[in-house]
Structure 1
């Protein structure tokens, strides 16, 4: 039996889980036609299921000591960061030799993950030297952070790397919502082909909308690493203002919240029977659809869960330290009436409780976005591989 062609997928998540969740959804679709190996460079919580048919290789893990990914740290006990870098490069090189991919998908780089250029540039150099070389695609979300003081310089650097190493850019967005050129503006022309896949969701199925008999609020912040301020405000808002109104609240902290913060939240919630603290919800979209409303940040996956659930939603986009991606997305969704938005700068127990009460009566519009991004990405990759194969054969 002829072995199936292979796709090697690189994904590094340093702060939250969104990048890995999206990559796993794409990998599952790719596995219909390819052997798929994901090289994952961040901490993978045991609660996160890897789809059958997808092989996940855990690189020695690198994380971030802050919410911006600006200060990288080793997550491997007993190994300093330099040793982790060395081991990762060895694993990546071995994977390239053993998998011999027909396609190499790099998540976010070179638009982001610039601190990982030290391993990715040698990796890409090695990949382009293979005979035959794989198709190389950059996989990127709908909106990029574009607020750095030297943003044009960073965009130009990314364009140069795209032109040197990449064959295609796959933008996981509906172009009716956002396009790449809105947050990526190099002065250098970009040569790789640009493809819009539609939004990537774990399932395009919209869960049934359940209406609880009493008001129920679900609060989450993705992996939770930068959600502490929202969680603290939510617990206080519930105990002071929402509980007396008969509202029930569930806070899902996510697996990356500091255990000390979780213990504080649990202590503050004791004695309040209408407030629940939980660490992880594997079916967040379904949980949203079962609540009266949801409160969250506005990352890629969370925003799509809100759209699929069709539930009244309040978002508090993470916008600290020059982060613009979530605020951009929240503004677009608010204009369409999909969410209400509260700035982090305005977040207090009082403003949060008021916004929650206002959102409970919100009427959610029916919005139509392309949610077929996983399947379409697999089709794009397959077409790129087929085109490369025909080109190679024609030259022989």
Structure 2
């Protein structure tokens, strides 16, 4: 039986970085096989959004969090924040194309609570225009721990609004309750779909003596890149490919290039085929950010990770993956060239774990949504 195409409204607002949008787009790619998806997104934008059947998107006027004051502000506007909120509401009002079969909201109510009025406003419009349709939440497996009162409030919001919570993660690696103590109260709505990563390659190329050193999309990580460049002369048989952030300035790149003392180091500012590059590498050295770790795991590349101190979530994920042998963590002390070359040899000599990690999260989530919509039709 040929079922009609569905319509799904998807809301994703990143307040820092691009990881959330990247994961959301991998999910939308899967959903678009049977549904027209309207995406409302804010925060940092991508240079180019994917071309998919029935896919429309609205980029809202940007609102970000000021790390110094913890206040919301609009970086592209000199208008008061209240005016920016009103502009966003008007843009949403114009963009939505009622009715929808379902709504997917990224992270809320476990995060993005600063945007609560906008999101709950959207939920109210949905109820008014579409009646009772499922509202899904799509959230990573590790949360920044919150006080009990805040957790209770999140549980209440889930019970009032959310049909299913899709967790992007593998419960054999990390369980949701490790960072959310009231998980038992919403366990009936929780579904682990696996990590969301690009699909693994159809055929595997041969590995070369290449070590990929990367800092992800952020500003942090220069110490790691410097350490790797200074270690390279001790490992002359390996080619070090050092990837700076795409936002690195010419002077920052020149500063790294000035540290290069031999022919086995190449500094590049961006790789748009990061995953393919990892497939031919013997080792990845990175800050262990979400998307990098997923690329590393889906390509089964041995890895060293230097967790960014400002983010407990990444530290915990690295610790869990390290306990299963997927990654070796680095500390500040390991960045001295002698120590780092030792760590690199150690990682290269380890046997890669046999255990498979669930990384098919986008396709699994899409299948589950399709089933739920078929049942509620």
Fold match, TM over 0.5? yes
TMscore range, shorter length: 0.7 to 0.9
TM-superposition CA deviations, 1:136-177 (whole Å, max 9, x none): 01001122222x4x2x12211111111111111111222222
Give the C-alpha shift of residue 64 in structure 1.
4.0
Name the counterpart of 1:186: 182
Name the counterpart of 1:387: 375
TM-superposition CA deviations, 1:107-136 (whole Å, max 9, x none): 011111122213212222222233333310
Preserved CA contact (<8 Å) 1:306 1:313: yes
User: 1:173 pairs with 166, 169, 172, which one?
Assistant: 169
Give the C-alpha shift of residue 287 in structure 1.
1.3
Preserved CA contact (<8 Å) 2:10 2:38: yes
User: 1:210 pairs with 196, 206, 222, which one?
Assistant: 206
Helix, strand or coil: the match of 1:298? coil
| 1:222 equivalenced with 2:234 (yes/no) | no
TM-superposition CA deviations, 1:353-393 (whole Å, max 9, x none): 5433432333322331222221221121122223333xxxx
Residues in 2 aligned to 1:188 and 1:340: alpha-carbon distance in whole angstroms: 32
User: 2:349 pairs with 334, 350, 361, which one?
Assistant: 361
Preserved CA contact (<8 Å) 2:234 2:341: no
Preserved CA contact (<8 Å) 1:141 1:300: no
User: 2:239 pairs with 234, 248, 251, which one?
Assistant: 248
| 1:294 equivalenced with 2:287 (yes/no) | no
Name the counterpart of 2:223: 232
Preserved CA contact (<8 Å) 1:26 1:377: yes
Preserved CA contact (<8 Å) 1:163 1:192: no
Residues in 2 aligned to 1:334 and 1:206: alpha-carbon distance in whole angstroms: 27
Name the counterpart of 1:134: 133
Q: Which has the higher contact order (CA 8 A, sep 6+)?
A: 1
Helix, strand or coil: the match of 1:266? helix
TM-score (norm. length: structure 1): 0.84
- Count of paired positions: 371
Closer/same/farther in 2, CA of residues 373 and 245 from structure 1, 3 Å limit: closer
Unaligned runs of 5+ in 1: 390-396
Preserved CA contact (<8 Å) 2:244 2:253: no
Helix, strand or coil: the match of 1:291? coil
Name the counterpart of 1:392: none
Residues in 2 aligned to 1:69 and 1:170: alpha-carbon distance in whole angstroms: 32
Helix, strand or coil: the match of 2:131? coil
Give the C-alpha shift of residue 72 in structure 1.
3.5
Residues in 1 aligned to 2:202 and 2:362: alpha-carbon distance in whole angstroms: 16
Calculate the aligned-residue CA RMSD, in Å.
Answer: 2.8
Closer/same/farther in 2, CA of residues 65 and 242 from structure 1, 3 Å limit: farther
Q: Following superposition of structure 1 onto structure 2, how do residues 66-215 of structure 1 map, counting pairs within 5 Å? A: 66=67, 70-96=70-96, 98-146=97-145, 148=146, 150=147, 152-186=148-182, 189-190=185-186, 193-205=189-201, 208-212=204-208, 215=209
Give the C-alpha shift of residue 346 in structure 1.
4.2
